[in-house]
């Protein structure tokens, strides 16, 4: 069953010239999305580079060869910070791929790839939104754990609040998986 079988398209002869020109211009205006695609992709690449620099920097600052010691808190915090930047870069890539496919054209190279179904299968705005929401939630969780690493606990209630926070995050992730968002 074909959608919109009752809506018959007008031929060029059936349309007044002003209607044809306006509709053509209106349809072409969707190409403005290319700006978001280009800058989203560039931003993602920059975030991947920044994440790599963050990890390299944390390794060089955390490891002291002169004293043969490792500052694990600095090392873990830097690595988690780098992962956080990678995840934000992934949000931008998914966003760029998704809006390109929704507004411009399907990415044929991606569709012929083995990993297409796991990364890109976006058929409408809700699919795009759900994929982005999942990655943003992961960014928030990673950011939370980066902050936990640098916390200084002054009393037992600080530890209790941290444990409750982790439990709430675990419960939230469990329900997100159950809902299949």
| % of the chain with per-residue pLDDT over 90 | 18
Which pair of tokens denotes residue 32? 């403005």
Which pair of tokens denotes residue 157? 């209630």
Structural domain boundaries enclosing 113: 17-150
Q: Tell me what the pLDDT averaged over the chain comes to.
A: 82
Q: Is residue 171 one of the residues assigned to a domain?
A: no
Q: Is residue 66 one of the residues assigned to a domain?
A: yes
pLDDT at residue 39, rounded to an integer: 96
Q: Is residue 160 one of the residues assigned to a domain?
A: no
Q: Which residues of 101-119 are buried (b: 16+ CB within 10 A; e: fewer)?
A: bbeeeeeeeeeeeeeeeee
Q: Which whole-number Å values give the CA distances from 159 to 38, 141, 155, in the listed order? A: 45, 18, 7
Q: Is residue 8 one of the residues assigned to a domain?
A: no
Alpha-carbon span 72 to 1, nearest angstrom: 62
pLDDT at residue 34, rounded to an integer: 93
Alpha-carbon span 80 to 37, nearest angstrom: 27
Summarised one tens digit per residue, pLDDT across range 53-77 is 999 998 888 777 667 777 777 788 8
Q: Is residue 131 one of the residues assigned to a domain?
A: yes
Alpha-carbon span 67 to 162, nearest angstrom: 33
Q: Is residue 111 one of the residues assigned to a domain?
A: yes
DSSP, res 11: P
Summarised one tens digit per residue, pLDDT across range 20-45 is 889 888 888 888 999 999 999 999 99
Q: How many CA atoms lie within 13 A of 12 on its CB side?
A: 2
Summarised one tens digit per residue, pLDDT across range 83-142 is 989 989 988 998 898 898 888 888 777 777 776 666 667 778 887 887 788 788 888 888
Q: Is residue 179 one of the residues assigned to a domain?
A: no
Q: Is residue 50 one of the residues assigned to a domain?
A: yes
Task: Work out how many domains the chain is built from and give that number.
Answer: 1
């Amino acid at each position: 069953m074909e959608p919109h079988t009752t809506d018959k398209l007008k031929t060029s002869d059936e349309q007044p010239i002003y209607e044809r020109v306006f509709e053509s211009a209106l349809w072409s205006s969707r190409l403005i999305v290319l700006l978001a695609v280009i800058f989203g992709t560039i931003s993602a690449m920059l975030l991947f580079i920044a994440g790599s620099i963050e990890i390299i920097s944390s390794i060089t600052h955390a490891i002291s060869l002169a004293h043969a010691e490792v500052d694990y808190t600095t090392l873990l915090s830097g690595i988690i910070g780098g992962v956080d930047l990678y995840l934000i870069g992934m949000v931008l890539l998914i966003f760029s791929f998704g809006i390109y496919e929704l507004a411009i054209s399907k990415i044929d190279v991606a569709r012929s790839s083995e990993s297409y179904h796991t990364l890109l299968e976006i058929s409408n705005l809700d699919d795009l939104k759900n994929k982005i929401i999942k990655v943003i939630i992961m960014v928030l969780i990673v950011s939370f754990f980066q902050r936990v690493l640098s916390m200084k606990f002054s009393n037992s209630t600080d530890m209790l609040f941290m444990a409750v926070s982790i439990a709430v995050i675990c419960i939230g992730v469990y329900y997100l998986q159950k809902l299949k968002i």
